[in-house]
């Protein structure tokens, strides 16, 4: 019996050892071994002379590791993740107001039409003193903190103590979903030419785009300007869906590939709603990622004319992985390629600091305003019609628009950074209660609004109060400032559509696009 038991035990050990590779998870004779990073953190926790924030140290260690990879692999802390996801999802839960801080007081600038605050009776010009008895005004709270207080779970209530024309009021608002729109504006520039501006690619972008496109088609659009300036990208699939609306057949839109990611193709799947009309895309150095996928697909298939300046040059694809502590890792897993096989990713061999400073350096040395921006590098590819297109460094436009670097004077930069134009527009509407009777509609406003000497005096006084050293604007700066104020007033009165209708007046991009479309 002892002999049989010994043989059975030996046989069991032998069979188990042979089966070890087929068992998922840890090896058969596994010894848990901690990584050096975890060992260091444990030693700091148990041995260090002072108490430290280990969570912060851990985040720093992760960021140091990712800094050795590429500029777009990032760690998102738990405190930041909700806000990042809101931008991707295209919505959040809140009360639907836009506010600004004047003299440490929260002023309601504008309201989401039919949003929770609007329905509850909040009005532009109201000053919010408290939210659920928490003081918001007079306590120097950062804007981000105020924003977090106003947001909350869907269906939750928030009681606002406000001051309206020096009269105190209490209004209770029920939080609800607030859309973060991707379509900034869509309207007809002329009888046949439509204009549509996209600011990002979220999960709602294609749906918003199709609603706007349908309305423009109903108005008789035969030619289109799609404005992607400053669009930093987002979800690849949304960009591919929009490209499908412009391309016929089963054309390749883009494909992705990486060391651990097999080639994945994105192709046209249906009949698009604007496959034949003349098309111009506008881009600049802020046009990146998913926007460049759309640019590359339409340029490679000779479907659109690209006008502007070379795009950002981001050709990497990230996937987001949720971590146990509610943080997340956004890791680069593949590169994307245009239909001709171009990778347009800029080099990041000199480190992340140099990578992100490149655009600023180009602006400072004036290359945006010279022909040097036209000197393309990298491999040359040919489109079906024989046009040369280039890899590396972004999408090169077919027609360049030089940047007017004179607009970025130190004084103007201060005005923009401190939001003075938007702030003065708000004050202007407060000081002019007869605005609606004076301007029957935006068309009359666009054609007849000018700033009076009193307006310039008030703007200068606001700049002085905000400690801007040089409040005196040159004649050239006054032209820019008046347009900025005018556009801000239009936005407060007629939403984003009003803003872009003003900004597009005499815009060199728009003028060049219209000339190109008139030749087609």
**Closest CA relative to residue 137, chosen from 146, 148, 147:** 146
For the chain, list residues with pLDDT below 70. 7, 11-35, 360-378, 404-408, 471
Tell me whether residue 174 is in a domain: yes
Tell me whether residue 86 is in a domain: no
Amino acid 17: pLDDT: 60
Do 169 and 210 share a domain, yes or no?
Answer: no
Could you tell me the CATH number of the domain that includes residue 346?
3.90.226.10
The answer for residues whose C-beta is within 8 angstroms of residue 287's C-beta and 6 or more apart is 228, 229, 230, 231, 232, 295, 308, 311, 312, 395
φ, ψ of residue 222 in degrees (nearest 5): -115, -25
**Closest CA relative to residue 197, chosen from 184, 210, 208, 209:** 184
Give the whole-angstrom CA distance, residue 343 versus residue 347: 11
**Closest CA relative to residue 281, chosen from 338, 223, 226:** 226
518: which 2 tokens? 């008139």
203: which 2 tokens? 């999960």
Amino acid 15: pLDDT: 66
Do 155 and 57 share a domain, yes or no?
Answer: no
178: which 2 tokens? 């607030």
Distances (CA, A) of 347 to 292, 337, 392, 394: 16, 15, 8, 10
pTM exceeds 0.75: yes
Tell me whether residue 308 is in a domain: yes
Give the whole-angstrom CA distance, residue 333 versus residue 258: 6
Amino acid 154: pLDDT: 93
Tell me whether residue 316 is in a domain: yes
Do 248 and 389 share a domain, yes or no?
Answer: yes
Number of Cβ within 10 Å of residue 160's Cβ equals: 25
Quick check: 368 and 359 in contact, CB under 8 A?
no
Biggest alpha carbon distance in the chain? 111
Do 386 and 306 share a domain, yes or no?
Answer: yes
Amino acid 96: pLDDT: 94
Tell me whether residue 427 is in a domain: yes
Number of Cβ within 10 Å of residue 28's Cβ equals: 11
**Closest CA relative to residue 463, chosen from 490, 518, 423:** 423
Give the whole-angstrom CA distance, residue 166 versus residue 372: 57
Tell me whether residue 108 is in a domain: yes
Do 370 and 261 share a domain, yes or no?
Answer: yes
Distances (CA, A) of 409 to 360, 405, 406, 414, 480: 14, 8, 6, 9, 11
Give the whole-angstrom CA distance, residue 440 versus residue 449: 12
Parent domain of 44 = 33-68
Give the whole-angstrom CA distance, residue 215 versus residue 221: 9
Could you tell me the CATH number of the domain that includes residue 145?
2.30.42.10
| End residue of a domain, out of 342, 376, 403 | 403
Do 342 and 439 share a domain, yes or no?
Answer: no
Terminal alpha carbon distance of the chain: 97
Quick check: 502 and 496 in contact, CB under 8 A?
no
Do 175 and 200 share a domain, yes or no?
Answer: no
Do 349 and 217 share a domain, yes or no?
Answer: yes
Q: How does pLDDT run across 155-189, given as a tens digit for each residue?
A: 999 999 999 988 999 999 999 999 989 999 999 99
Segments in 365-470 forming alpha helices (H): 410-417, 420-431, 435-438, 442-448, 453-465
Number of Cβ within 10 Å of residue 172's Cβ equals: 11
Do 391 and 418 share a domain, yes or no?
Answer: no
- Output the DSSP codes for 180-238: --SEEEEEESSSSEEEEEE--B-TTHHHHHHHHHHHHHHTT--EEEEE-TT---B-HHH
Do 257 and 330 share a domain, yes or no?
Answer: yes
Domain count, the chain: 4
Do 313 and 213 share a domain, yes or no?
Answer: yes
Tell me whether residue 85 is in a domain: no
Quick check: 289 and 314 in contact, CB under 8 A?
yes
Quick check: 73 and 318 in contact, CB under 8 A?
yes
Sign of CA dihedral 443, 444, 447, 450: negative
Give the whole-angstrom CA distance, residue 468 versus residue 415: 8
| CA 3 to chain centroid | 74
Tell me whether residue 75 is in a domain: no
| End residue of a domain, out of 179, 207, 223 | 179
Catalytic residue IDs:
289, 300, 314
Q: How does pLDDT run across 182-239, given as a tens digit for each residue?
A: 999 999 999 999 999 999 999 999 999 999 999 999 999 999 999 999 999 999 999 9
Quick check: 94 and 151 in contact, CB under 8 A?
yes
| End residue of a domain, out of 370, 403, 436 | 403
Number of Cβ within 10 Å of residue 149's Cβ equals: 16
Do 377 and 238 share a domain, yes or no?
Answer: yes
């Amino acid at each position: 019996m002892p002999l049989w038991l010994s043989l059975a035990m030996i046989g069991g050990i032998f069979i188990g050892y042979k089966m070890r590779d087929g068992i998922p998870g840890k090896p058969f004779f596994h010894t848990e071994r901690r990584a050096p990073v975890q060992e260091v953190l444990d030693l700091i926790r148990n041995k260090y002379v002072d108490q430290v924030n280990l969570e912060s140290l851990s985040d720093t260690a992760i960021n140091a590791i990712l800094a050795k990879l590429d500029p777009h692999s990032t760690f998102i802390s738990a405190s930041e993740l909700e806000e990042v996801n809101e931008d991707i999802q295209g919505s959040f839960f809140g009360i639907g107001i836009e506010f600004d801080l004047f003299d440490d007081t929260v002023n309601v600038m504008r309201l989401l039409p039919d949003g929770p605050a609007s329905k509850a009776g909040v009005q532009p010009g109201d000053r919010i003193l408290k939210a659920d008895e928490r003081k918001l005004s007079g306590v120097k709270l950062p804007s981000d903190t105020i924003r977090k207080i106003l947001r909350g779970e869907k269906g939750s209530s928030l009681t606002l103590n406000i001051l309206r024309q020096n009269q105190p009021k209490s209004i209770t608002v029920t939080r609800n979903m607030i859309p973060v729109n991707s379509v900034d504006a869509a309207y007809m520039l002329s009888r046949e030419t439509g204009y549509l501006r996209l600011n990002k690619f979220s999960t709602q972008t294609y749906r918003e785009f199709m609603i706007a496109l349908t309305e423009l088609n109903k108005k008789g659009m035969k030619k289109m300007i799609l404005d992607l300036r400053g669009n930093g990208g987002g979800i690849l699939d949304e960009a591919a869906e929009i490209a499908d609306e412009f391309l016929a057949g089963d054309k390749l839109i883009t494909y992705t590939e990486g060391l651990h990611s097999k080639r994945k193709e994105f192709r046209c799947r249906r009949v698009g709603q604007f496959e034949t009309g003349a098309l111009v895309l506008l881009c600049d150095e802020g046009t990146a990622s998913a926007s460049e996928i759309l640019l590359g697909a339409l340029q490679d298939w000779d479907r659109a004319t690209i006008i502007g300046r070379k795009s950002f040059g981001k050709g990497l694809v990230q996937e987001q992985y949720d971590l146990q502590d509610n943080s997340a890792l956004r890791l680069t897993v593949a590169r994307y390629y245009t239909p001709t096989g171009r990778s347009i990713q800029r080099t990041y061999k000199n480190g992340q600091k140099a990578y992100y400073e490149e655009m600023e350096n180009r602006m400072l040395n004036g290359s945006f305003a010279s022909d040097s921006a036209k000197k393309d590098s990298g491999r040359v590819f040919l489109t079906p019609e024989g046009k040369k297109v280039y890899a590396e460094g972004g999408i090169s436009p077919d027609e360049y628009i030089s940047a007017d670097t004179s607009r970025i004077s130190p004084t103007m930069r201060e005005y923009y950074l401190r939001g003075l134009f938007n702030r003065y527009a708000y004050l202007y509407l407060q000081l002019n209660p007869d605005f609606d009777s004076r301007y029957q509609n935006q068309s009359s406003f666009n054609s007849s609004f000018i700033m009076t000497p009193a307006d310039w005096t008030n703007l200068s006084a606001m700049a002085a109060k905000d400690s801007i050293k040089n409040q005196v604007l040159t004649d050239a700066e006054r032209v820019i400032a008046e347009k900025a104020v005018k556009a801000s007033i239009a936005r407060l009165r007629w939403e984003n559509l009003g803003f872009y209708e003003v900004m597009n007046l005499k815009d060199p991009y728009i003028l060049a696009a219209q000339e190109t479309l008139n030749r087609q």
